[in-house]
Structure 1
Amino acid sequence: MSKDLSLRSLLGSTLLPPSEARILMAHVLDKHYQLPRSALLSRDDMQLNDGALENWRSLVSKRLQGHPIAYLIGKRGFHNIELQVAPGVLIPRPETELLVEIGLREIKRIQKEVTAPNVLDLGTGSGAIALAVAHEAPTALLTATDQSFEALAIAQANAQHLGLNSRIQLLQGSWYEALADKALFDVILSNPPYIAIQDPHLSQGDLRFEPISALTDHASGFTCLEVIIKGALNHLKPMGLIAVEHGFDQSEAVGELMKSAGLQNIRVHQDLSGHFRVTSAMSV
């Protein structure tokens, strides 16, 4: 057996914030004992065996070094679903749920005329956006692209786990290049890399551990947004909607890109922090 240390003692002596410590300990209890999170209270006097204690200490050490909790426990909640995540994909963030909500509103609007709306998620990563939409809109058919084989493997595992694999098509390739030339969609959604390469945030916090290609275009932050917006009319049905996530200070420039691309009804949308986080537009 491990040293005589209870869950209460281990949680009380760690340097981690209490909320983070409880998340990691709950993961250890589930992994080693198949115990629910409630055991943190109901069995707080239990002692970890050697394997579980080693796992706990390793997780604490990595978190103190800055490793994201989502990578340490291998999952992240996102818009009513739970996703597997790993260092090969971006960690889904709450602000991206705004993009899902916009897509769902558009699906609801057109469902009287479109029985099975076709939705495209460009740069899907873990599959977060596409799978959240599929989960909430059971008639929608999803296509998701990513240039990373590693990301697509994680997205496929998530689709399988959520029972949504029959309603999502995963395609490898850069943005629209993964699609057939004449593929058309009712809704296009994307959270592309939009952080400028010189942005100091890339060397801070969780971003240090996430795939750099999912965060920045290695340029101004607008390269991927420009490709997606310029190509939208070739893949949107008449009166189709495109919505893209972008930086809090990029909405005006993104709106201009959409206007130049011939899109109409351009709107900006605020996230829960009050930042203009998503811009949407429609085809003619």
Structure 2
Amino acid sequence: MTVADAIRDAAAVLAATSDTARLDAEVLMAHALGVTRSELLLRHMRNPAPPGFAALVARRQVHEPVAYIVGEQEFFGLPFRVSPAVLIPRGDSEVLVEAALAAHPAPEPDAKRVLDCGTGSGALLLAVLHGLPQASGTGIDRSADALAVAQDNAARLGLAGRAAFALADWHQPGWADSLGGPFDLVLANPPYVEDDADLAPSVRVHEPAGALFAGAEGLDDYRVLVPQLPGLLAPGGVALVEIGHAQADAVTALAAQAGMEATLHRDLGGRARVLELRVPGMQGLERKIPLGKGTATA
């Protein structure tokens, strides 16, 4: 059987599991051959199919995410290693990186110190550091396994010298005392999924529950973390917090109770995605960053 035949058959099998069955089959075949997808399509379609391909397809048949099978996911144009210890970085989260790179916390033109709360694979922190070559940052997570993945990604991207990682949990008293704050930028993609949310099996069964679920309303972690943000920020600092599409009002209200003002950034689908939080009177010159996705000041 040729590679082309095997991909065709795999796509037919995976159609019951995935909305992107043909793409999944091609990515898995490229992984089995140890080549890029472009190389696969240009040079290998008539070659014999490798024996390991069927096992990869079988894993995808039971809803295991392709990113976990191949061990990698691209985010903000950078390759990140992923494992079941971390959430798979998603394109919607790139809105947070764009907002962070455009935030320009006063009085400096660009951030020098960055904190990433719930770093997982390190994708947010490392993408921001890649775009801010003068900055250094710390990523915290309550999972030691996740931190190992993040550290590996920092090394692979040549950012280990500017990125540190620490085991910490914002639910615990004094969790930030040893992090060396305050910070110009605080990034956060906390758990925000409702406990009974209707999720695809690839997410609910395979991705880490501790990084997903946050109570009946999906707001439990915001209620703990958001009130602590002002104490983490340097004068003029900015916090960027990812939210669920229906959570903008609730999290904006939590920020207001903590003395912060919120600007909403939407993703490419027009859904609420990120809140940019500042403490009034500390930021100097007001800036609004449209990003081409729509903003609103709360």
Using structure 2 for the length normalisation, give the TM-score.
0.85
Identity %: 35
Unaligned runs of 5+ in 1: none
In structure 1, what residue type is equivalent to 2:191?
P
In structure 2, what residue type is equivalent to 1:24?
L
Aligned to 2:273: 277
Is 1:9–2:13 an aligned residue pair? no
Q: Structure 1, residues 230-278: CA drift from partner, whole Å, max 9, x if none?
A: 00111111121111111100000111000000113x1111111110111
The 5 Å alignment of 1:1-284 reads 5-14=1-10, 15-16=13-14, 17-30=21-34, 37-48=38-49, 52-53=50-51, 55-107=52-104, 110=106, 113=108, 117-175=112-170, 177-180=175-178, 183-201=181-199, 204-264=201-261, 266-283=262-279, 284=282
Unaligned runs of 5+ in 2: 15-20, 283-298
User: Residue 181 of structure 1: CA displacement?
Assistant: 7.3
Q: Distance in 2 between matches of 1:223 and 1:6?
A: 52
> Runs (4+) of structure 1 moved beyond 6 Å?
none
- SS class of match (1:38): helix
Q: Distance in 2 between matches of 1:22 and 1:91?
A: 19
CA contact (8 A) 1:145 1:178 kept: no
Q: Structure 1, residues 208-229: CA drift from partner, whole Å, max 9, x if none?
A: 2100000012443111112221
Q: Distance in 2 between matches of 1:35 and 1:170?
A: 31
Indicate the structure with greater helix content: 1
User: Residue 37 of structure 1: CA displacement?
Assistant: 3.9
Using structure 1 for the length normalisation, give the TM-score.
0.89
Taking only aligned residues, the RMSD between alpha carbons, in angstroms, comes to: 1.9
- SS class of match (1:45): coil
Q: Distance in 1 between matches of 2:203 and 2:236?
A: 38
Equivalent residues, number: 269
CA contact (8 A) 1:7 1:40 kept: no
